[in-house]
Chain A
Protein backbone atom coordinates (compact mmCIF):
# COMPACT_ATOMS: atom_id res chain seq x y z
CA UNK A 1 0.00 0.00 0.00
CA UNK A 2 2.57 2.59 1.12
CA UNK A 3 5.02 1.26 -1.44
CA UNK A 4 2.43 1.77 -4.18
CA UNK A 5 1.68 5.30 -3.00
CA UNK A 6 5.39 6.06 -2.85
CA UNK A 7 5.75 4.81 -6.41
CA UNK A 8 2.92 7.05 -7.57
CA UNK A 9 4.48 10.04 -5.83
CA UNK A 10 7.78 9.26 -7.52
CA UNK A 11 6.04 9.09 -10.92
CA UNK A 12 4.31 12.41 -10.37
CA UNK A 13 7.53 14.02 -9.12
CA UNK A 14 9.38 12.86 -12.20
CA UNK A 15 6.67 14.38 -14.43
CA UNK A 16 6.94 17.68 -12.57
CA UNK A 17 10.72 17.69 -12.97
CA UNK A 18 10.28 17.03 -16.70
CA UNK A 19 7.83 19.91 -17.00
CA UNK A 20 10.20 22.26 -15.18
CA UNK A 21 13.23 21.32 -17.24
CA UNK A 22 11.36 21.74 -20.49
CA UNK A 23 10.01 25.06 -19.23
CA UNK A 24 13.55 26.28 -18.64
CA UNK A 25 14.21 25.80 -22.36
CA UNK A 26 11.94 28.81 -22.94
CA UNK A 27 14.89 30.95 -21.85
CA UNK A 28 17.62 29.32 -23.88
CA UNK A 29 18.64 30.67 -27.24
CA UNK A 30 17.12 28.87 -30.21
CA UNK A 31 19.51 26.82 -32.29
CA UNK A 32 17.72 27.77 -35.49
CA UNK A 33 19.70 29.53 -38.20
CA UNK A 34 17.19 31.58 -40.15
CA UNK A 35 18.70 30.54 -43.42
CA UNK A 36 17.65 32.91 -46.18
CA UNK A 37 18.18 35.87 -43.85
CA UNK A 38 21.30 34.55 -42.18
CA UNK A 39 23.71 32.90 -44.57
CA UNK A 40 25.92 30.21 -43.08
CA UNK A 41 29.71 30.47 -43.44
CA UNK A 42 30.71 28.30 -46.38
CA UNK A 43 34.19 26.84 -46.23
CA UNK A 44 36.40 27.52 -49.25
CA UNK A 45 36.86 23.84 -50.02
CA UNK A 46 33.13 23.16 -49.83
CA UNK A 47 32.06 21.10 -52.83
CA UNK A 48 29.27 22.97 -54.58
CA UNK A 49 28.55 24.45 -58.01
CA UNK A 50 31.18 23.54 -60.60
CA UNK A 51 33.07 26.23 -62.51
CA UNK A 52 35.61 26.25 -65.33
CA UNK A 53 38.53 28.60 -64.74
CA UNK A 54 40.99 30.48 -66.90
CA UNK A 55 44.74 30.63 -66.54
CA UNK A 56 46.49 33.86 -65.46
CA UNK A 57 46.73 34.97 -69.09
CA UNK A 58 42.97 34.76 -69.50
CA UNK A 59 42.94 31.67 -71.69
CA UNK A 60 40.75 28.71 -71.01
CA UNK A 61 42.48 26.20 -68.80
CA UNK A 62 40.50 23.18 -69.93
CA UNK A 63 42.40 21.08 -72.45
CA UNK A 64 39.48 18.71 -73.10
CA UNK A 65 41.43 15.69 -71.88
CA UNK A 66 38.18 13.98 -70.79
CA UNK A 67 39.69 12.84 -67.48
CA UNK A 68 36.87 14.52 -65.53
CA UNK A 69 34.26 12.77 -67.63
CA UNK A 70 36.02 9.46 -67.00
CA UNK A 71 36.32 10.06 -63.28
CA UNK A 72 32.70 11.14 -62.90
CA UNK A 73 30.84 8.34 -61.12
CA UNK A 74 27.46 9.44 -62.40
CA UNK A 75 28.55 10.34 -65.94
CA UNK A 76 27.15 13.82 -65.80
CA UNK A 77 29.99 15.51 -67.75
CA UNK A 78 30.04 15.59 -71.54
CA UNK A 79 32.60 17.45 -73.63
CA UNK A 80 34.14 17.49 -77.10
CA UNK A 81 37.76 18.36 -77.84
CA UNK A 82 38.77 20.81 -80.52
CA UNK A 83 41.90 22.83 -81.33
CA UNK A 84 42.52 26.49 -82.08
CA UNK A 85 44.98 27.85 -84.65
CA UNK A 86 47.81 27.96 -82.07
CA UNK A 87 47.46 24.27 -81.38
CA UNK A 88 45.86 24.80 -77.96
CA UNK A 89 43.30 22.18 -77.09
CA UNK A 90 39.99 23.37 -75.71
CA UNK A 91 36.50 21.92 -75.39
CA UNK A 92 34.12 22.63 -78.23
CA UNK A 93 31.29 22.17 -75.78
CA UNK A 94 31.42 21.35 -72.11
CA UNK A 95 28.17 20.25 -70.56
CA UNK A 96 27.38 19.25 -66.97
CA UNK A 97 24.02 17.81 -66.06
CA UNK A 98 23.61 19.15 -62.53
CA UNK A 99 20.49 17.11 -61.94
CA UNK A 100 22.80 14.09 -61.96
CA UNK A 101 25.87 15.64 -60.37
CA UNK A 102 26.50 14.44 -56.83
CA UNK A 103 29.15 17.07 -56.06
CA UNK A 104 31.74 14.41 -55.25
CA UNK A 105 34.64 16.50 -56.53
CA UNK A 106 36.31 13.61 -58.38
CA UNK A 107 36.43 15.75 -61.54
CA UNK A 108 38.37 18.42 -59.67
CA UNK A 109 40.86 15.83 -58.42
CA UNK A 110 41.20 14.27 -61.86
CA UNK A 111 41.78 17.57 -63.66
CA UNK A 112 45.47 17.97 -64.66
CA UNK A 113 45.13 21.68 -65.40
CA UNK A 114 43.05 22.92 -62.41
CA UNK A 115 40.42 23.92 -64.92
CA UNK A 116 37.36 22.36 -63.32
CA UNK A 117 36.81 23.46 -59.71
CA UNK A 118 34.04 23.22 -57.15
CA UNK A 119 32.84 26.33 -55.34
CA UNK A 120 31.00 26.89 -52.05
CA UNK A 121 27.74 27.79 -53.82
CA UNK A 122 24.87 25.40 -53.27
CA UNK A 123 21.78 27.44 -54.17
CA UNK A 124 21.13 25.81 -57.51
CA UNK A 125 17.41 25.06 -57.40
CA UNK A 126 15.56 25.49 -60.70
CA UNK A 127 11.94 25.39 -61.70
CA UNK A 128 12.53 23.74 -65.08
CA UNK A 129 14.45 20.49 -65.18
CA UNK A 130 16.23 21.42 -68.40
CA UNK A 131 17.72 24.44 -66.65
CA UNK A 132 19.82 22.05 -64.59
CA UNK A 133 21.97 21.30 -67.64
CA UNK A 134 24.78 23.86 -67.74
CA UNK A 135 26.87 24.65 -70.78
CA UNK A 136 30.40 26.01 -70.96
CA UNK A 137 29.34 29.65 -71.19
CA UNK A 138 27.43 29.22 -67.91
CA UNK A 139 30.36 27.72 -66.04
CA UNK A 140 33.39 29.50 -67.51
CA UNK A 141 34.54 32.33 -65.22
CA UNK A 142 37.00 35.12 -65.89
CA UNK A 143 39.34 34.37 -62.98
CA UNK A 144 41.69 31.64 -61.94
CA UNK A 145 39.66 30.10 -59.13
CA UNK A 146 41.62 28.58 -56.28
CA UNK A 147 45.02 28.38 -58.07
CA UNK A 148 46.22 31.79 -59.12
CA UNK A 149 49.61 31.17 -60.74
CA UNK A 150 49.16 27.88 -62.47
CA UNK A 151 49.34 27.94 -66.26
CA UNK A 152 49.33 24.47 -67.75
CA UNK A 153 50.89 25.29 -71.12
CA UNK A 154 53.74 27.17 -69.42
CA UNK A 155 54.87 24.04 -67.60
CA UNK A 156 53.85 21.41 -70.10
CA UNK A 157 56.08 20.13 -72.88
CA UNK A 158 53.52 20.56 -75.62
CA UNK A 159 54.40 23.12 -78.27
CA UNK A 160 51.79 25.69 -79.04
CA UNK A 161 51.82 28.90 -80.99
CA UNK A 162 54.32 31.33 -79.37
CA UNK A 163 55.98 28.63 -77.28
CA UNK A 164 58.12 25.98 -78.90
CA UNK A 165 59.59 22.78 -77.57
CA UNK A 166 61.90 23.26 -74.62
CA UNK A 167 60.68 26.75 -73.77
CA UNK A 168 58.48 25.81 -70.84
CA UNK A 169 59.49 26.38 -67.23
CA UNK A 170 62.00 23.84 -65.90
CA UNK A 171 62.19 22.25 -69.35
CA UNK A 172 65.50 21.55 -71.08
CA UNK A 173 65.82 22.15 -74.80
CA UNK A 174 65.10 19.00 -76.77
CA UNK A 175 68.07 16.72 -77.19
CA UNK A 176 69.23 15.76 -80.65
CA UNK A 177 69.38 11.99 -80.19
CA UNK A 178 71.49 11.51 -83.31
CA UNK A 179 74.24 13.77 -81.89
CA UNK A 180 74.63 11.67 -78.76
CA UNK A 181 77.66 9.82 -80.07
CA UNK A 182 79.92 8.08 -77.60
Chain B
Protein backbone atom coordinates (compact mmCIF):
# COMPACT_ATOMS: atom_id res chain seq x y z
CA UNK B 1 0.00 0.00 0.00
CA UNK B 2 2.78 2.42 0.89
CA UNK B 3 4.66 2.44 -2.34
CA UNK B 4 5.31 4.82 -5.17
CA UNK B 5 2.62 3.82 -7.58
CA UNK B 6 -0.17 5.98 -8.87
CA UNK B 7 -3.13 6.00 -6.53
CA UNK B 8 -1.43 4.49 -3.45
CA UNK B 9 -2.41 5.95 -0.09
CA UNK B 10 1.04 7.52 0.31
CA UNK B 11 0.65 9.25 -3.02
CA UNK B 12 -2.80 10.58 -2.22
CA UNK B 13 -1.62 11.97 1.09
CA UNK B 14 1.49 13.45 -0.49
CA UNK B 15 -0.34 15.17 -3.31
CA UNK B 16 -3.10 16.44 -1.03
CA UNK B 17 -0.75 17.82 1.63
CA UNK B 18 1.86 19.24 -0.72
CA UNK B 19 -0.77 20.65 -3.06
CA UNK B 20 -2.66 22.34 -0.25
CA UNK B 21 0.46 23.63 1.49
CA UNK B 22 1.88 25.01 -1.75
CA UNK B 23 -1.44 26.64 -2.59
CA UNK B 24 -1.73 28.25 0.82
CA UNK B 25 1.90 29.32 0.88
CA UNK B 26 1.32 30.94 -2.51
CA UNK B 27 -0.68 33.60 -0.69
CA UNK B 28 2.48 34.62 1.13
CA UNK B 29 4.77 34.07 -1.88
CA UNK B 30 2.49 36.19 -4.04
CA UNK B 31 2.36 39.06 -1.57
CA UNK B 32 6.12 38.88 -1.05
CA UNK B 33 6.89 38.92 -4.75
CA UNK B 34 4.33 41.62 -5.46
CA UNK B 35 6.24 43.62 -2.90
CA UNK B 36 9.56 42.95 -4.62
CA UNK B 37 8.13 43.84 -8.00
CA UNK B 38 6.92 47.18 -6.71
CA UNK B 39 10.13 48.00 -4.79
CA UNK B 40 8.67 47.06 -1.42
CA UNK B 41 9.50 44.20 0.93
CA UNK B 42 6.12 42.57 1.38
CA UNK B 43 5.03 40.82 4.60
CA UNK B 44 8.27 39.91 6.39
CA UNK B 45 7.52 40.26 10.08
CA UNK B 46 5.68 37.08 11.15
CA UNK B 47 8.32 34.41 11.54
CA UNK B 48 11.47 34.07 9.41
CA UNK B 49 10.94 35.99 6.15
CA UNK B 50 7.28 36.27 7.15
CA UNK B 51 6.38 32.69 6.24
CA UNK B 52 3.90 32.47 9.11
CA UNK B 53 1.90 35.34 7.64
CA UNK B 54 -0.44 32.74 6.18
CA UNK B 55 -1.12 31.29 9.62
CA UNK B 56 -1.88 34.75 10.94
CA UNK B 57 -4.22 35.34 8.00
CA UNK B 58 -5.95 32.01 8.55
CA UNK B 59 -6.38 32.71 12.26
CA UNK B 60 -7.87 36.09 11.40
CA UNK B 61 -10.29 34.54 8.93
CA UNK B 62 -11.32 31.71 11.24
CA UNK B 63 -12.06 34.05 14.11
CA UNK B 64 -14.09 36.48 12.04
CA UNK B 65 -17.86 36.44 12.21
CA UNK B 66 -19.20 33.89 9.77
CA UNK B 67 -22.11 35.95 8.57
CA UNK B 68 -24.80 34.59 6.28
CA UNK B 69 -26.92 37.44 4.93
CA UNK B 70 -30.57 37.02 5.92
CA UNK B 71 -31.67 37.97 2.42
CA UNK B 72 -29.55 35.30 0.75
CA UNK B 73 -30.43 31.83 -0.47
CA UNK B 74 -28.81 30.10 2.49
CA UNK B 75 -28.20 26.61 1.14
CA UNK B 76 -26.66 27.82 -2.11
CA UNK B 77 -24.76 30.51 -0.26
CA UNK B 78 -23.06 27.90 1.93
CA UNK B 79 -22.50 25.36 -0.84
CA UNK B 80 -20.97 27.77 -3.38
CA UNK B 81 -17.57 28.40 -1.74
CA UNK B 82 -17.10 24.68 -1.12
CA UNK B 83 -17.31 23.82 -4.80
CA UNK B 84 -14.23 25.71 -5.91
CA UNK B 85 -11.52 24.12 -3.70
CA UNK B 86 -13.07 20.67 -4.10
CA UNK B 87 -13.09 20.66 -7.89
CA UNK B 88 -9.67 22.28 -8.02
CA UNK B 89 -8.25 19.58 -5.74
CA UNK B 90 -9.97 16.96 -7.90
CA UNK B 91 -8.28 18.31 -11.00
CA UNK B 92 -4.99 18.33 -9.12
CA UNK B 93 -5.50 14.57 -8.80
CA UNK B 94 -4.84 13.75 -12.44
CA UNK B 95 -1.66 15.79 -12.68
CA UNK B 96 1.34 13.49 -13.21
CA UNK B 97 4.07 14.87 -10.96
CA UNK B 98 6.68 12.22 -11.66
CA UNK B 99 6.72 8.60 -12.82
CA UNK B 100 4.59 6.84 -10.20
CA UNK B 101 3.57 10.02 -8.40
CA UNK B 102 -0.02 11.10 -8.80
CA UNK B 103 -3.46 10.31 -7.50
CA UNK B 104 -5.26 9.12 -10.63
CA UNK B 105 -4.08 7.95 -14.02
CA UNK B 106 -7.13 8.52 -16.17
CA UNK B 107 -6.98 7.85 -19.88
CA UNK B 108 -9.14 10.98 -20.25
CA UNK B 109 -7.11 13.07 -17.80
CA UNK B 110 -7.22 16.15 -19.98
CA UNK B 111 -10.99 16.01 -20.29
CA UNK B 112 -11.23 15.51 -16.53
CA UNK B 113 -9.34 18.74 -15.93
CA UNK B 114 -11.66 20.56 -18.30
CA UNK B 115 -14.75 19.08 -16.70
CA UNK B 116 -13.55 20.23 -13.30
CA UNK B 117 -12.69 23.68 -14.63
CA UNK B 118 -16.19 23.86 -16.04
CA UNK B 119 -17.67 22.92 -12.66
CA UNK B 120 -15.55 25.59 -10.99
CA UNK B 121 -17.53 28.27 -12.76
CA UNK B 122 -20.59 27.10 -10.78
CA UNK B 123 -18.86 28.29 -7.64
CA UNK B 124 -18.65 31.82 -8.98
CA UNK B 125 -22.12 31.77 -10.47
CA UNK B 126 -23.94 30.26 -7.50
CA UNK B 127 -22.02 32.39 -5.03
CA UNK B 128 -23.00 35.57 -6.81
CA UNK B 129 -26.56 34.45 -7.41
CA UNK B 130 -27.20 33.30 -3.85
CA UNK B 131 -25.87 36.51 -2.34
CA UNK B 132 -28.92 38.37 -3.64
CA UNK B 133 -26.86 41.49 -4.12
CA UNK B 134 -26.60 43.58 -7.26
CA UNK B 135 -22.83 43.70 -7.28
CA UNK B 136 -22.53 39.98 -6.58
CA UNK B 137 -24.89 39.27 -9.44
CA UNK B 138 -22.89 41.50 -11.78
CA UNK B 139 -19.71 39.71 -10.75
CA UNK B 140 -21.33 36.33 -11.23
CA UNK B 141 -22.58 37.29 -14.68
CA UNK B 142 -19.15 38.52 -15.64
CA UNK B 143 -17.59 35.35 -14.27
CA UNK B 144 -20.03 33.13 -16.12
CA UNK B 145 -19.54 34.90 -19.43
CA UNK B 146 -15.78 35.04 -19.08
CA UNK B 147 -15.26 31.46 -17.97
CA UNK B 148 -17.60 29.92 -20.51
CA UNK B 149 -16.23 31.85 -23.46
CA UNK B 150 -12.59 31.32 -22.51
CA UNK B 151 -13.22 27.62 -21.91
CA UNK B 152 -14.11 27.26 -25.61
CA UNK B 153 -10.71 28.03 -27.01
CA UNK B 154 -8.88 26.76 -23.97
CA UNK B 155 -10.20 23.40 -25.15
CA UNK B 156 -9.40 24.04 -28.79
CA UNK B 157 -5.89 25.27 -28.03
CA UNK B 158 -4.75 21.93 -26.61
CA UNK B 159 -6.34 19.78 -29.31
CA UNK B 160 -3.07 20.26 -31.17
CA UNK B 161 -1.31 18.46 -28.32
CA UNK B 162 -3.87 15.69 -28.39
CA UNK B 163 -3.22 15.29 -32.12
CA UNK B 164 0.54 15.21 -31.63
CA UNK B 165 0.56 12.83 -28.67
CA UNK B 166 -2.42 10.79 -29.81
CA UNK B 167 -3.77 10.56 -26.26
CA UNK B 168 -5.90 12.31 -23.66
CA UNK B 169 -3.92 10.82 -20.80
CA UNK B 170 -1.61 13.37 -19.20
CA UNK B 171 1.04 10.72 -18.50
CA UNK B 172 1.15 9.69 -22.13
CA UNK B 173 1.29 13.33 -23.15
CA UNK B 174 4.40 13.73 -21.00
CA UNK B 175 5.89 10.51 -22.40
CA UNK B 176 5.25 11.77 -25.93
CA UNK B 177 7.50 14.77 -25.23
CA UNK B 178 10.69 12.75 -24.73
CA UNK B 179 11.82 13.73 -28.23
CA UNK B 180 10.96 17.41 -27.85
CA UNK B 181 8.71 19.56 -25.78
CA UNK B 182 5.40 20.61 -27.29
CA UNK B 183 6.22 24.27 -26.71
CA UNK B 184 8.04 24.33 -30.06
CA UNK B 185 5.38 22.89 -32.39
CA UNK B 186 2.51 24.25 -30.29
CA UNK B 187 3.75 27.73 -29.42
CA UNK B 188 0.49 29.48 -30.29
CA UNK B 189 -1.42 26.76 -28.51
CA UNK B 190 0.70 27.54 -25.45
CA UNK B 191 -0.04 31.27 -25.66
CA UNK B 192 -3.77 30.71 -26.02
CA UNK B 193 -3.82 28.08 -23.29
CA UNK B 194 -1.97 30.25 -20.82
CA UNK B 195 -4.13 33.31 -21.41
CA UNK B 196 -7.30 31.24 -21.31
CA UNK B 197 -6.12 29.44 -18.21
CA UNK B 198 -5.52 32.71 -16.42
CA UNK B 199 -8.98 33.89 -17.45
CA UNK B 200 -10.44 30.56 -16.40
CA UNK B 201 -9.06 30.76 -12.88
CA UNK B 202 -9.92 34.48 -12.99
CA UNK B 203 -6.50 35.53 -11.91
CA UNK B 204 -5.17 38.98 -12.59
CA UNK B 205 -5.38 40.60 -15.08
CA UNK B 206 -8.62 38.72 -15.79
CA UNK B 207 -10.19 39.25 -12.38
CA UNK B 208 -13.23 40.99 -13.77
CA UNK B 209 -15.66 38.89 -11.70
CA UNK B 210 -14.06 40.49 -8.66
CA UNK B 211 -13.22 43.86 -10.24
CA UNK B 212 -12.94 45.67 -6.93
CA UNK B 213 -12.73 49.08 -8.59
CA UNK B 214 -16.19 48.90 -10.08
CA UNK B 215 -18.24 46.16 -8.36
CA UNK B 216 -16.81 46.15 -4.80
CA UNK B 217 -15.63 42.54 -4.71
CA UNK B 218 -17.91 40.95 -7.27
CA UNK B 219 -19.33 37.54 -6.56
CA UNK B 220 -17.78 37.31 -3.08
CA UNK B 221 -18.97 40.69 -1.83
CA UNK B 222 -21.27 39.17 0.79
CA UNK B 223 -18.82 36.51 1.91
CA UNK B 224 -16.78 36.88 5.05
CA UNK B 225 -14.61 34.74 7.26
CA UNK B 226 -13.59 31.31 6.10
CA UNK B 227 -16.23 31.22 3.35
CA UNK B 228 -14.33 33.97 1.62
CA UNK B 229 -11.18 32.09 2.57
CA UNK B 230 -12.43 29.05 0.66
CA UNK B 231 -12.94 31.16 -2.45
CA UNK B 232 -9.43 32.51 -2.06
CA UNK B 233 -7.82 29.13 -1.40
CA UNK B 234 -9.75 27.65 -4.32
CA UNK B 235 -8.38 30.35 -6.56
CA UNK B 236 -4.85 29.63 -5.40
CA UNK B 237 -5.28 25.88 -5.88
CA UNK B 238 -6.52 26.73 -9.38
CA UNK B 239 -3.36 28.72 -9.92
CA UNK B 240 -1.27 25.73 -8.79
CA UNK B 241 -3.25 23.41 -11.08
CA UNK B 242 -2.67 25.73 -14.01
CA UNK B 243 1.02 26.03 -13.17
CA UNK B 244 1.37 22.25 -13.11
CA UNK B 245 -0.76 21.75 -16.21
CA UNK B 246 1.29 24.08 -18.40
CA UNK B 247 4.58 22.19 -17.79
CA UNK B 248 2.80 18.85 -18.29
CA UNK B 249 1.27 19.91 -21.58
CA UNK B 250 3.97 22.09 -23.11
CA UNK B 251 7.22 21.78 -21.15
CA UNK B 252 7.68 18.07 -20.84
CA UNK B 253 6.32 17.60 -17.32
CA UNK B 254 8.87 15.69 -15.23
CA UNK B 255 11.30 15.26 -18.14
CA UNK B 256 14.61 16.98 -17.52
CA UNK B 257 15.77 19.57 -20.05
CA UNK B 258 19.05 18.96 -21.94
CA UNK B 259 19.42 15.55 -20.32
CA UNK B 260 20.05 17.01 -16.87
CA UNK B 261 18.64 13.99 -15.04
CA UNK B 262 20.10 12.92 -11.73
CA UNK B 263 19.43 10.26 -9.13
CA UNK B 264 16.50 7.99 -9.77
CA UNK B 265 13.77 9.13 -12.07
CA UNK B 266 11.25 9.91 -9.31
CA UNK B 267 13.53 12.38 -7.51
CA UNK B 268 14.73 13.93 -10.74
CA UNK B 269 11.16 14.09 -12.03
CA UNK B 270 9.85 15.71 -8.87
CA UNK B 271 12.67 18.25 -8.95
CA UNK B 272 12.11 19.29 -12.54
CA UNK B 273 8.34 19.31 -12.19
CA UNK B 274 8.69 21.48 -9.08
CA UNK B 275 11.12 23.80 -10.83
CA UNK B 276 8.85 24.27 -13.82
CA UNK B 277 5.79 24.72 -11.62
CA UNK B 278 7.56 27.31 -9.47
CA UNK B 279 8.61 29.19 -12.58
CA UNK B 280 5.03 29.51 -13.74
CA UNK B 281 3.74 30.35 -10.27
CA UNK B 282 6.20 33.23 -10.08
CA UNK B 283 5.37 34.18 -13.65
CA UNK B 284 1.69 34.51 -12.76
CA UNK B 285 2.62 36.73 -9.85
CA UNK B 286 4.67 38.84 -12.26
CA UNK B 287 1.68 39.05 -14.59
CA UNK B 288 -0.44 40.21 -11.71
CA UNK B 289 2.11 42.85 -10.77
CA UNK B 290 2.60 44.13 -14.31
CA UNK B 291 -0.55 43.99 -16.38
CA UNK B 292 -3.71 46.02 -16.05
CA UNK B 293 -7.23 44.67 -16.05
CA UNK B 294 -8.98 45.00 -19.45
CA UNK B 295 -12.44 46.39 -19.91
CA UNK B 296 -15.12 43.70 -20.13
CA UNK B 297 -15.86 44.29 -23.82
CA UNK B 298 -12.12 44.24 -24.52
CA UNK B 299 -11.90 40.92 -22.72
CA UNK B 300 -14.72 39.45 -24.77
CA UNK B 301 -13.59 40.80 -28.14
CA UNK B 302 -10.03 39.74 -27.41
CA UNK B 303 -11.24 36.25 -26.67
CA UNK B 304 -13.58 35.78 -29.58
CA UNK B 305 -11.77 37.83 -32.24
CA UNK B 306 -8.11 37.04 -31.48
CA UNK B 307 -7.81 33.95 -29.32
CA UNK B 308 -10.47 31.82 -31.00
CA UNK B 309 -9.15 32.35 -34.59
CA UNK B 310 -5.61 31.83 -33.35
CA UNK B 311 -6.45 28.53 -31.70
CA UNK B 312 -8.47 27.38 -34.72
CA UNK B 313 -5.64 28.21 -37.12
CA UNK B 314 -3.21 26.46 -34.79
CA UNK B 315 -5.42 23.37 -34.75
CA UNK B 316 -5.83 23.45 -38.53
CA UNK B 317 -2.11 23.75 -39.23
CA UNK B 318 -1.18 21.08 -36.67
CA UNK B 319 -3.69 18.68 -38.18
CA UNK B 320 -2.53 19.41 -41.70
CA UNK B 321 1.13 18.87 -40.82
CA UNK B 322 0.40 15.61 -39.00
CA UNK B 323 -1.67 14.33 -41.92
CA UNK B 324 1.04 15.37 -44.38
CA UNK B 325 3.75 13.61 -42.39
CA UNK B 326 1.61 10.50 -42.12
CA UNK B 327 1.53 10.50 -45.92
Contact surface of A with B, Cβ cutoff 8 Å:
8, 15, 18-19, 21-23, 25-26, 28-32, 34
| CB <8 Å contact, A26 and B287 | no
* 5 residue pairs A–B, Cβ–Cβ below 8 Å: A18-B291, A19-B291, A23-B286, A28-B39, A30-B36
| CB <8 Å contact, A30 and B290 | no
Q: Min CB distance, B49 to chain A, in Å?
A: 13
Q: Provide the residues of chain A in CB contact with B289, threshold 8 Å.
A: 22
| CB <8 Å contact, B38 and A32 | no
The proximity string for B residues 132-151 relative to A, scoring 1 for CB distances below 8 Å and 0 otherwise, is 00000000000000000000
| CB <8 Å contact, B306 and A30 | no
**A30 in complex: contacting residue of B35, B287, B291, CB < 8 Å:** B35
Q: Provide the residues of chain A in CB contact with B35, threshold 8 Å.
A: 30
| CB <8 Å contact, A30 and B41 | yes
Q: Provide the residues of chain A in CB contact with B286, threshold 8 Å.
A: 19, 22-23
**B36 in complex: contacting residue of A18, A21, A25, A34, CB < 8 Å:** A25
| CB <8 Å contact, B41 and A26 | no
Q: Which residue of B lies closest to A19 (CB)?
A: B290
Contact surface of B with A, Cβ cutoff 8 Å:
33, 35-41, 286-287, 289-291, 306
Q: Provide the residues of chain B in CB contact with A22, threshold 8 Å.
A: 37, 286, 289-290
Q: Provide the residues of chain A in CB contact with B33, threshold 8 Å.
A: 26
Q: Which residue of B lies closest to A21 (CB)?
A: B290
| CB <8 Å contact, A23 and B40 | no
Given contacts A8-B306, A19-B286, A22-B286, contact A31 B291 (CB under 8 A): no
Q: How far is A31 from B286 in the complex, measured between Cα atoms in Å? A: 19
| CB <8 Å contact, A30 and B40 | yes
Q: Min CB distance, B77 to chain A, in Å?
A: 37
Which DSSP category, helix, strand, loop or mixed, fits chain A's interface? Answer: helix
| CB <8 Å contact, B287 and A19 | yes
| CB <8 Å contact, B40 and A32 | yes
Q: Provide the residues of chain A in CB contact with B287, threshold 8 Å.
A: 19
16 new A-B contacts at CB < 8 Å, known A23-B286, A25-B38, A30-B35: A18-B290, A18-B291, A19-B286, A19-B291, A22-B37, A22-B286, A22-B289, A23-B37, A23-B290, A25-B37, A26-B33, A26-B36, A28-B39, A30-B40, A31-B39, A34-B41
Q: Which residue of B lies closest to A34 (CB)?
A: B41
Q: Provide the residues of chain A in CB contact with B37, threshold 8 Å.
A: 22-23, 25-26
Q: Min CB distance, A29 to chain B, in Å?
A: 8
Q: How far is A15 from B290 in the complex, measured between Cα atoms in Å? A: 8
Q: How far is A25 from B286 in the complex, measured between Cα atoms in Å? A: 10
Q: Min CB distance, A18 to chain B, in Å?
A: 5
Q: Provide the residues of chain A in CB contact with B39, threshold 8 Å.
A: 25, 28-32
Q: How far is A95 from B289 in the complex, measured between Cα atoms in Å? A: 50
Q: How far is A99 from B36 in the complex, measured between Cα atoms in Å? A: 37
Q: Provide the residues of chain B in CB contact with A8, threshold 8 Å.
A: 306
Q: How far is A160 from B291 in the complex, measured between Cα atoms in Å? A: 75
Q: Which residue of A lies closest to B289 (CB)?
A: A22
Q: Provide the residues of chain B in CB contact with A29, threshold 8 Å.
A: 39
Q: Provide the residues of chain B in CB contact with A34, threshold 8 Å.
A: 41
Q: How far is A28 from B36 in the complex, measured between Cα atoms in Å? A: 8
Q: Min CB distance, B283 to chain A, in Å?
A: 9
Q: Min CB distance, A15 to chain B, in Å?
A: 6
Q: Min CB distance, B48 to chain A, in Å?
A: 15
Q: Provide the residues of chain A in CB contact with B38, threshold 8 Å.
A: 25
Q: How far is A145 from B39 in the complex, measured between Cα atoms in Å? A: 39
